[in-house]
Amino acid sequence: MVELEIDGRHVSAPEGSLLVDAAAGAGIAIPSLCHHRELEPSGNCRLCMVEIEGWRMEAPACATRVQAGMKVRTGSPRISAARRAALELALARYHDPDWGRHAAPESEFEFWCRHYGARVPESVFEPGPGPRDSDPHPLIRVDLERCILCARCVRACRDLQGRHVWGLAGRGEHTRLAAGFGGTMLEARCESCGACAAFCPTGALEDRGAEAAGMPEARVTTVCPYCGVGCSYDLGVREGRVVRVLSNPYAPVNGMHLCVKGRYGWDFVHHPERLRAPRVRRELLEGRARAPGEPRGEWVSVDWDTALDLAAAKLEEVRRRSGPDALGFLSSAKCTNEENYLMQKLARQVIGTNNVDHCARLCHASTVAGLLLALGSGAMSNTMADVAGEARAILVIGSNTTEQHPVFGAMLRRAAARGAKLVVADPRRIDLCEAAALHLRHRPGTDIALVNGLLHLVFANGWEDRAFIAVRTEGVEAVREAVRRYTPARVAQITGVPESGLAGAAELLARNRPMAVVWAMGITQHTTGVPNVLALANLQLALGNFGVPGAGVNPLRGQNNVQGACDMGALPNVFTGYQPVGDAKARARFAAGWRLTDGGPGVGERPGLTVTEMIQAAGSRKLRALTIMGENPALTDPDLNHVRRALAGAEFVLLQEILPSATAEFADILLPGAAWAEKDGTFTNTERRVQRVRRAVEPPGEARPDWAIVAALADRLLARQGRAPHGPQAGWSYASPDEVLAEIAALTPSYAGIDAHRLERGEALHWPVPAKDHPGTPILHRDRFTRGKGAFHAVEHADPAELPDASYPLLLTTGRVLVHWHGSELTRRSAVGALCPEPEVEINPQDARAIGLARGDGARLRLVSRRGELRARAWITDRVPEGVVFGNFHFPAQGNVNNLTILAVDPVAKIPEYKVCAVRAEPLTT
């Protein structure tokens, strides 16, 4: 540390730090326009001038490093005059006829001009040379008249997003801000993260609509409702409505950075289609039973008591008539930890079944199962910051990170820019490949052969960590023997990756440690999902990449709270914290806590049904009642025609939702829930960090938070059963989600030390947090694995369930796109939807030519599989290799790729093989 004096105060600052940051750390604000602590310094606005004793001239605090013994003055008449002069220089090129009258928050520039009394020359209010709205971007307004050339936007785009959308063009007085080579932002490959607007100090770049929405009256810090990165930000609130998202510089995961969905995808919260009152089908209200095959009748809006009484009566009737296992519960990775906890408590304590699951089954069930076998814990071992900041090499396999986990994707680009060796293994040439040292383009469904091939070369070259293997692992010999058969020549034949590429990747990954492996659904959504994960665990065990920053196994969880929903036991085989239902001690703990000795149902040791099994069973009426909280199987499950038939035939479906989703068509009772901005609670992000979610606005109409709905339903069910369990963990009278969190902590060793006060204080709590004084565990497996020794498992390549043939000659692989989210029920009802308004299929130019599909904006195609068809716009591109097409599942009806996907599952994790099936393509003329 360096000791210095600023404004007469003694200050300690890290060596090499900038004066402006040292002052900020001591609570002394030095004004600046071009500087921001998250960006590379540039020192061009001269607003941060300070006096330093012994120096002849004032110095810019944003470009001057601290020195021992420095004596700095940040305010004096001379300094104020220098700052005023700097501001007036900027004002000379600033043209804003609305100066001082903006409805949006006062810009930093306006604030400092007012503060220092910078004079605004009359000419400033003359019409300037540039257009006031110069770019057609649908989310960001560009007003070059207000640009002072501080270049913060240029650096925000480059330093945070890893893009180069903005630059300064021209010379001297003709210098101006320009997108790309003079085109539009989107032509310059803008990813619409809005960092440029968030960092702009003048409002030259601004969120479209921010002015019309008006100045927020309050800011409420909460967590993004989309992906598992878990970015936090402030919701700006005015007159009871969210009016914008504002970056919060203290956001622990993301700082000022957000992606397009986080920054601009919030407006669905006030969509006119939001559900405002409970609805019941007419026949149910009239007490008529629907005959098998009879379509559901019209909706009737009812009050909460009527809806909850009918729901409880129906669920209890089914339980008595057909037994507890005739009921199923789909919990939700979009909902809070507290809500997921209550949903599985409802299933187990009140009904007595383990039939509870959620969409983790469809994304990372194989990760959880595989890593439990290998390491004893199914979660991400490290944090995103340490992977991006400390790894010397990173293998990203089966993760389109810049589109699916965009803020972390941008961190990976920055990691490559600082010198980390990035190897991307993906059948598609995804955007991240541009930052990679190597792209391994293996065929879909050949991950095991690829990873075994890497391991073959690790052992063949003696690159394994023998000491680590000897002390911390078991079972290496079987793997060494198995991978002997995965010679580069054989791997090239199976995967299509040239031998030289495999060799280069093996050397990069093995000789640059720590090395982190990152994966997502490209690994997990296969019939070999669990062996795929085991292969990656083998690689990291062999290289000793555990227990240190920048290493580990790093599965990126999809939804905002899919990690939390799993942690909460919304799974058919475990209680909270992965305590198995098959474990007598765990059952005894919950039986005692939940008072299951009161004559009500007990919790069985047999795991319940999974998501896909429940849907099938509902269709065949083995399952008589299905309760769904915020999930949308009618769009997101594989082989949708089959799913829709099953849901249509289900005896009783109770749905809690915020919007009329595709699944609502099949519901008998629809209960309006609250969106993320309307409730309190916690989410757990992909790196096991538990974060506070805060209510910013009230739910619309009579909508209620899901935790309150579940609790009210449980109360009614218990009353009908003649039970009244009470006590700290047995009852259902919760005043707030904080009380539910306290109950979770009491029953869950890994959450035992987590409470509302610690989270409110801003503590970074990565579970396990076994005690109130425990600081949390950002890195797992430091000295020992959760299971003791890390276990190697020999795994072999196996073909996917369905491969192309003469009738269906193309291989379809599926995923998401940047702006949409899952079934896009939210993003289709948001301004972000304008960036991707229709379904799209990527097809290689050779394949397009082969079917006579002409290039052009209007090209459309039809994909057909053995199960259904899809109609979409065609993107003819070599992003996909020849023989492979890629589609997304964001659009309903004929636009959804899940019409085509196959219900073949990994035998252990029961995850469907979304990533591979066989299709044929035909050009469409309309």
Contacts with ligand SF4, residue ranges (CB under 6 A): 224, 226-227, 229-231, 254, 258-259, 261-262, 405-407
Instruction: Provide the minimum distance between the beta carbon of 247 and ligand SF4 in the complex, in angstroms, as a whole number.
Output: 10
Q: What is the DSSP string of 605-650?
A: SS----HHHHHHHHHTTSS-EEEEES--HHHHSSSHHHHHHHHHH-
Dist. CA 746–CA 742, nearest whole Å = 6
Residue among 229 and 455 whose Cβ is closer to ligand SF4: 229
Instruction: Provide the minimum distance between the beta carbon of 196 and ligand SF4 in the complex, in angstroms, as a whole number.
Output: 16
Residue among 555 and 638 whose Cβ is closer to ligand SF4: 555
Give me the residues paired with residue 888 across strands: 815
Residue among 228 and 278 whose Cβ is closer to ligand SF4: 228
Residue among 231 and 508 whose Cβ is closer to ligand SF4: 231
Residue among 532 and 684 whose Cβ is closer to ligand SF4: 684
Dist. CA 705–CA 713, nearest whole Å = 13
Phi/psi of residue 690, nearest 5 degrees: -90, 130
Instruction: Provide the minimum distance between the beta carbon of 250 and ligand SF4 in the complex, in angstroms, as a whole number.
Output: 15
Residue among 253 and 536 whose Cβ is closer to ligand SF4: 253
Q: Which SS3 state, helix, strand or coil, does residue 836 take?
A: coil
Instruction: Provide the minimum distance between the beta carbon of 811 and ligand SF4 in the complex, in angstroms, as a whole number.
Output: 29
Dist. CA 859–CA 119, nearest whole Å = 57
Instruction: Provide the minimum distance between the beta carbon of 924 and ligand SF4 in the complex, in angstroms, as a whole number.
Output: 32
Dist. CA 537–CA 774, nearest whole Å = 28
Instruction: Provide the minimum distance between the beta carbon of 326 and ligand SF4 in the complex, in angstroms, as a whole number.
Output: 38
Side chain identity at residue 331, one-letter code: S
Instruction: Provide the minimum distance between the beta carbon of 260 and ligand SF4 in the complex, in angstroms, as a whole number.
Output: 7
Side chain identity at residue 660, one-letter code: P
Give me the residues paired with residue 5 across strands: 10, 71
How does DSSP classify residue 912?
A: B
Residue among 247 and 446 whose Cβ is closer to ligand SF4: 247
Residue among 411 and 634 whose Cβ is closer to ligand SF4: 411
Residue nearest ligand SF4, CB atom distance: 262
Residue among 332 and 573 whose Cβ is closer to ligand SF4: 332
Q: Do you know the residue count of the chain?
A: 926
Instruction: Provide the minimum distance between the beta carbon of 814 and ligand SF4 in the complex, in angstroms, as a whole number.
Output: 19
Residue among 518 and 541 whose Cβ is closer to ligand SF4: 518
Q: Which SS3 state, helix, strand or coil, does residue 480 take?
A: helix
Give me the residues paired with residue 884 across strands: 811
Dist. CA 841–CA 827, nearest whole Å = 19
Radius of gyration of the chain (CA): 29
Instruction: Provide the minimum distance between the beta carbon of 407 and ligand SF4 in the complex, in angstroms, as a whole number.
Output: 4
Q: What is the DSSP string of 273-293?
A: T---S-EEEHHHHTTPPPPTT
Residue among 254 and 525 whose Cβ is closer to ligand SF4: 254
Residue among 198 and 350 whose Cβ is closer to ligand SF4: 198
Residue among 560 and 579 whose Cβ is closer to ligand SF4: 560
Q: How far is CA 354 from CA 373, 574, 588, 596, 603, in A?
A: 22, 9, 15, 14, 7
Instruction: Provide the minimum distance between the beta carbon of 677 and ligand SF4 in the complex, in angstroms, as a whole number.
Output: 13
Dist. CA 838–CA 855, nearest whole Å = 18
Q: What is the 3-state secondary structure (H, E, C) of 430-444?
A: CHHHHHCCEEECCCC
Q: Which two tokens stand for residue 760?
A: 């409110």
Residue among 253 and 543 whose Cβ is closer to ligand SF4: 253
Burial class for 131, CB neighbours closer than 10 Å (0-12, 13-18, 19+)? exposed
Q: Which SS3 state, helix, strand or coil, does residue 164 take?
A: coil
Instruction: Provide the minimum distance between the beta carbon of 258 and ligand SF4 in the complex, in angstroms, as a whole number.
Output: 4
Instruction: Provide the minimum distance between the beta carbon of 815 and ligand SF4 in the complex, in angstroms, as a whole number.
Output: 15
Instruction: Provide the minimum distance between the beta carbon of 153 and ligand SF4 in the complex, in angstroms, as a whole number.
Output: 19
Residue among 148 and 259 whose Cβ is closer to ligand SF4: 259
Q: Exposure string (b/e) for 577-601, b if CB count within 10 Å is 16 or more? A: bbbebeeeebbebbbebbbbebebb
Dist. CA 616–CA 926, nearest whole Å = 35
Instruction: Provide the minimum distance between the beta carbon of 232 and ligand SF4 in the complex, in angstroms, as a whole number.
Output: 8
Residue among 835 and 870 whose Cβ is closer to ligand SF4: 835
Side chain identity at residue 647, one-letter code: L
681: Cβ contacts below 8 Å, ≥ 6 apart: 336, 337, 338, 339, 693, 705, 707, 737, 740, 741
Instruction: Provide the minimum distance between the beta carbon of 567 and ligand SF4 in the complex, in angstroms, as a whole number.
Output: 18
Cis preceding-peptide flag for 406 (omega within 30 of 0): no
659: Cβ contacts below 8 Å, ≥ 6 apart: 268, 271, 273, 274, 275, 825, 826, 829
Instruction: Provide the minimum distance between the beta carbon of 425 and ligand SF4 in the complex, in angstroms, as a whole number.
Output: 22
Dist. CA 852–CA 875, nearest whole Å = 14
Q: Which two tokens stand for residue 918?
A: 């066989």
720: Cβ contacts below 8 Å, ≥ 6 apart: 312, 313, 316
Instruction: Provide the minimum distance between the beta carbon of 404 and ligand SF4 in the complex, in angstroms, as a whole number.
Output: 8
Residue among 262 and 823 whose Cβ is closer to ligand SF4: 262
Q: Strand 356-357 vs strand 473-474: parallel, antiparallel, or unpaired?
A: unpaired
